[in-house]
Structure 1
Amino acid sequence: MTGARESRPALEIAVTSAAGARAARDGGADRVELCTGLELGGLTPSAALVEAVADAGPPVQVLVRCRPGDFLYDAEEIALMAAEVRSVIASGARGVVIGALTSEGTLDVDAVARLRDAAQEADPAVEVTLHRAIDVSADPAATAALLPALGLTRVLTSGGAPAAGRGLDRLAAMAAAAPGVQVMAGGGVRPADIPALLATGVDAVHLSAKRRAPVRADAAWVPLGASSAPAEQDTHFVTDAAVVAEARRALDRARRADA
């Protein structure tokens, strides 16, 4: 079912843990998007992590992305992600965040429909979001225009720009091109960007509100995998509750000013 517009602009925070979900909740987030590997653009979390975050508070949308890199998937990868969709919904997800492109840079409608169907078969009330694959599509506004017929709830987008604050014109065009689909601005969002983003007509704002976890002073450091980052950068990200609260205040101020 195509999503209705948000009753008020919503705040979504990307998190990677139950602690992050609690920080988002305490800072005033309306919902969270859960993933692992935020440093890689986000990957599908485990069923146990979904369960823990679902218990932590705000409604959880779960990213389903089986690997980093591009959004061109073969049949085996699509089948895997369909299974992941069913798994995360069974574990407590209120929504899933999906996407796939063709080699021509257009939306892979068949793949998206298959993932949507897997979600709706698992729970007819589940929300389905198209993720930022749209921002590397050949024509993000034209891609957005396909979404109402696909019955998706919302789309997460920077307007095809490196950061949403630099994609304002296209965000407005995408909101106009996808009636009935909630358009959520995300990608490099800072609280100071929120008034301009809401002025484009988007329904929600998404940000990671992240900071690097501190490096353990007593830990030996050895580079692992392909990482060559120095020790002070070779850490994971955690949710910063103060940034969440700042974003909440900015969103509420902008909403009151527009009332």
Structure 2
Amino acid sequence: MSTSRIALVTGAASGIGAAIATRLAADGAAVALLARRRDRLEKVAAQIAEAGGTALVVPADVTSEESVAEAAAQVQERFGDLDLLVNNAGLMSVVPFADGPVADWRRTVEVNLTGVITVTHAFLPALRRSAENRTTDLVNVSSLAADRFNPGMAAYGASKAGVSHLTRTLRAELAGEGIRVTNLEPGMIDGTELADSFPADLQAMVNDLRSNLPAVPVTEVAELVAYVVTRPRDVNLPHLIIQPSKEI
């Protein structure tokens, strides 16, 4: 990757986001780390700096237009125009539909889908300027749940289906401007915090499943993103799935 790449990764405090940010920085990109938890972001930034990379901590809430606008201004002031945006921030609520708290589902949609819309809209002007003379990428991290019907995952699946559809539409709108758009749908990934809020019985089931079906390490997701964004400028990989080889 050229050292001129300027990247922003949302949900960069842990899991897939932290792994992607670390990998991009290792390849020479200046990386802005966006998430709500400043302390966790600072740890990721310190690790990147220790390895010789460049990282900017940008605490922000993807559900707040004002917070995201402030983040965009901060990134612009420090790095200039963004040419690589990875929308990864997300959360998961798993509960049967009839029993589900609507407030939790609303938060799931606000973070997983509306957050992608808000962040992309805020950084799109910079991406457009970058696309005039250099490789520019928009990568949205969706989920296999976007295309599958999993009991208890109605809100999560619906939010991720929205992300996948949004990404396809964005590609149709932006391809002519030279902005490459990629929809990435991970399956079972190890090293994320998505299941941390599950009830004890559900966590036990997930752990049992992982013991019989080894999940993909977050580092492999990061490697895939690094591959996608280092293709020749005229090559786009629009839709990718990454999952354990035994996952059906």
TM over 0.5: no
Higher share of residues assigned helix: 2
- Specify the TM-score bucket, using the shorter chain as the normaliser: 0.3 to 0.5
